[in-house]
Amino acid sequence: MLWQQQHCRVGSGSPQHTQPAMLQRCSQPLSRLAAQQARRLLVAAHASSQQQGVSSTAASEAESSSAAAAVAERARAASQRWSEQSTVYYSNYPLDRAADARRDEAQVQAWFNAPNARLTPVNGARILVTQQHPAAASSSSSSSSSSSSSSSSSTNGAQTAAPQQQQQQQALLQPVWVSPASELTCAVNAAVPPLFLGLDRASGAPHFAVQVAAAEAEGLAGSDGARWMSARNAGPEMSRSDAALMAVASGLAVWNLDAQYHGTTGSPTTPRNSGFSRSCSSSRRSLYPRVDPAIITLVTGGAEWCLLGRKQEWPRGRYSTLAGFLEIGESLEQALAREVLEESGVEVQLPSVRYVASQPWPFPRSLMVGFYAAAAALDGSSSSSSSSSSAGPVELLSHQGRMAMMDTGIKPAEVSAVLGDCRFLQPPVPQEGEMEDVRWFHRDWLSWALQQGSEAAPGGFMIPGEYSLAYRLITGWLQQQKQSVPQTVQNSHQESGSNSSSSSSSAKGIWLGDQVPQVDIDEGVFKYVLLRLTDSSSGRSKLLVRGAAAAAYHNHILQHTKGQLQKLCPQGTLQLDVLGGGRIEHHADQKVISVYGYSAAFGPAVHEVTAALLQRWYPFYDASSITWSYEGY
């Protein structure tokens, strides 16, 4: 349904201009590169016509027109591929920006007055949105061919393909569009010209944004349920292409409002290039929207841990990657190391910094640059190189632990992998004025907590939504870890003489063991067993801690766990080995756990390993509050 407001027309008295011949011949505007090549072709054709006569001129013009159109089409197709292939939110810009045509004021005015021109009102950082109909929302979330234009309110919208996403959220909001653009006639802020956003790639329909005056903004809300929202808050509830388009519209409008006067001379500035630049009236100096680069990074410790923090003003339970702006004279890598040290007290190894992706964040004008980085180990080396084999299991265990290791059959590689990795983690210290809390999270617990959701996860734990670069960094790291063969598996195969083909096959994708929580214990005082879960089809394995207050015997815990695995894997490829047992005293209200004693049936477990696994699974407990002892029963 066409959404309109009945006021006087904007630009209705502007003269119509005839399109240049090249633009008449081409159904789409040329990109900068295509336009330059087209002009060279036309110049060559003109020179040739002077030498060869009228008939030769006609042939040359036809050939030049065809070549220019082909170049333009290739440029548009490449731009569309780049937009559609991007998996980063706010980067799926759905329109041909047609940047080369912005300087042609006559052409832009003609596009604004065109009957298929579409316009969206903005008010500073706010955009006008309406609720998407359920049928349209379902379609946009399930189909890769949904378009930002067709999902909008106007019936004249063109079909613009959106990229297929592995996790496409359901679009709940859509921007309000007016078509034709000249129908919107409320008072427009004269400091901001109609902002030319680009042309639909399929139909060529021009798209604009107009900054409406604050006094008139509220009069636009209410029709068809339209309401004003900040582009930042509305973006996650929109389709990726709509979110990218509205972020540019609001960011550009905010910049034009902020740049009405030159910062040095104080003179008024005049908008140029359809709002993408301004000119100082006294110095004639050009001003352009500033982009503030910022780093965002997931810091890892060893192969199994990552560093996350939270600010006090964030919602309860929310943790994210560390981030910050660049300072003058800094490289991206140096800014990363400084920000991580300032916010967490953790030192990063600069050679480990690896670029992942960038994300436009025009709220109002940032560019997030994402990295992975490895924390330096406590011994000064890179934590990524401080493998579990750097210290043998004998050095990591007490005398009783060594005896238990020999009696229960736990493998030395398993002991080294569990105890060796966390020995080198720098203790994070939240810096005053920066972060409320910063701590290490083990990948197994992090994967489990994200599967539970914030309502079921301990403390309401959650990370930023999938629209954020932080989400991509965290989930990308978890996926990489799942697809790699843990050092424990490799060493276990070497010790048992297994062939390498079984080890390599375990690296392919997710295995069923990822669906089994590593720790499952009750509160109070109860018996526990340490178990090894092995997938006989791939050879992958992991250690489990199971404890139940209702279990009279350690064997009851074993049998109950076997029953759970049988339901998960009826084929029976998941097998359990008992590695001893003992008792656990767990006071959740005090965040204290004590591991001690032994099992009469299975012998004592290696309690140091059990305590380390519990530290992984209870990241909000202080490491010193999880203790072990071989005394007692």
Q: Identify the CATH number of the domain in which residue 306 sits.
A: 3.90.79.10
Classify residue 229 as exposed, middle or buried by CB count within 10 Å of its CB (0-12, 13-18, 19+).
Answer: middle
Q: Evaluate if residue 140 carries a pLDDT over 50.
A: no
Q: Dihedral of CA 445/450/451/453: which sign?
A: positive
> Is 394 a domain residue?
no
Does residue 315 share a domain with residue 230?
Answer: no
Does residue 129 share a domain with residue 70?
Answer: yes
Q: How far apart are the first and last CA of the chain?
A: 75
Contacts of residue 106, Cβ cutoff 8 Å, sequence gap at least 6: 17
Q: Evaluate if residue 29 carries a pLDDT over 50.
A: no
Residue 567, domain extent: 513-628
Consult the annotation and say whether 527 binds a ligand.
Answer: yes
Contacts of residue 435, Cβ cutoff 8 Å, sequence gap at least 6: 309, 310, 311, 322, 343, 344
pTM of the predicted model as reported, rounded to 2 decimal places: 0.76
Does residue 431 share a domain with residue 355?
Answer: yes
State the pLDDT confidence band at 510, using cuts at 50, 70 and 90: low
What letter represents residue 187's amino acid?
Answer: A
> Is 285 a domain residue?
no
Does residue 88 share a domain with residue 25?
Answer: yes
More confident residue, 623 or 477: 477
Does residue 612 share a domain with residue 518?
Answer: yes
Write the pLDDT tens digit of every residue in 380-435. Answer: 555 554 444 444 555 678 888 888 888 888 888 888 888 876 767 899 999 888 89
d(CA 431, CA 312): 12
* DSSP string for 138-178: HHHHH-TT--TTTTSS-TT----PPPP-TTPPPP-EEE--B
* pLDDT for position 403: 85
Write the pLDDT tens digit of every residue in 465-491. Answer: 989 999 999 999 998 876 664 444 444
Does residue 210 share a domain with residue 304?
Answer: no
> Is 223 a domain residue?
yes
Write the pLDDT tens digit of every residue in 92-118. Answer: 899 999 998 998 999 999 999 999 999
> Is 282 a domain residue?
no
Q: Under a CB-based contact definition with an 8 Å cutoff, are residues 530 and 407 in contact? A: no
State the pLDDT confidence band at 379, using cuts at 50, 70 and 90: low
> Is 589 a domain residue?
yes
Q: Evaluate if residue 46 carries a pLDDT over 50.
A: no
**Tokens 């072709």, residue?**
41
Domains in the chain, number: 3
Contacts of residue 519, Cβ cutoff 8 Å, sequence gap at least 6: 544, 545, 613, 614, 616, 617, 618
Write the pLDDT tens digit of every residue in 56-78. Answer: 445 555 555 566 556 556 655 66
Write the pLDDT tens digit of every residue in 224-266. Answer: 789 999 999 999 999 999 999 999 999 999 999 998 899 888 9
Average pLDDT, the chain: 78
Which of 232, 258, 284 is the last residue in one of the domains?
258
Hey, is 319 helix, strand or coil? coil
For 235-350, strand residue ranges (E) read 269-272, 277-280, 286-287, 292-301, 305-310, 322-325
Is 7 annotated as catalytic? Answer: no
> Is 608 a domain residue?
yes
Task: Determine the average pLDDT of the residues in 348-357.
Answer: 95
d(CA 244, CA 93): 5
CA dihedral of residues 514, 515, 519, 521 (deg, nearest 10): 180
* pLDDT for position 402: 85
Backbone angles phi, psi at 588, to 5 degrees: -65, -35
Write the pLDDT tens digit of every residue in 242-251. Answer: 999 999 999 9
Measuring CA to CA, which residue among 334, 368, 339 is closest to residue 350? 334
Does residue 236 share a domain with residue 346?
Answer: no
* pLDDT for position 633: 79
Does residue 307 share a domain with residue 229?
Answer: no
More confident residue, 164 or 610: 610
Which residue is catalytic, options 442, 493, 554, 586? 554
Q: Give the domain CATH number at 535.
A: 3.50.20.20
State the pLDDT confidence band at 148, using cuts at 50, 70 and 90: very low
> Is 551 a domain residue?
yes
- The token pair that represents 463 in the structure block: 């990370």
Does residue 88 share a domain with residue 170?
Answer: yes
Angular region, 45: left φ>0, alpha ψ -120 to 50, beta rest: alpha
Which of 214, 243, 258 is the last residue in one of the domains?
258
> Is 413 a domain residue?
no
Does residue 548 share a domain with residue 475?
Answer: no
Does residue 443 share a domain with residue 534?
Answer: no
Return the H-helix or E-strand segment holding 85. helix 54-85
d(CA 389, CA 215): 69
Does residue 576 share a domain with residue 523?
Answer: yes
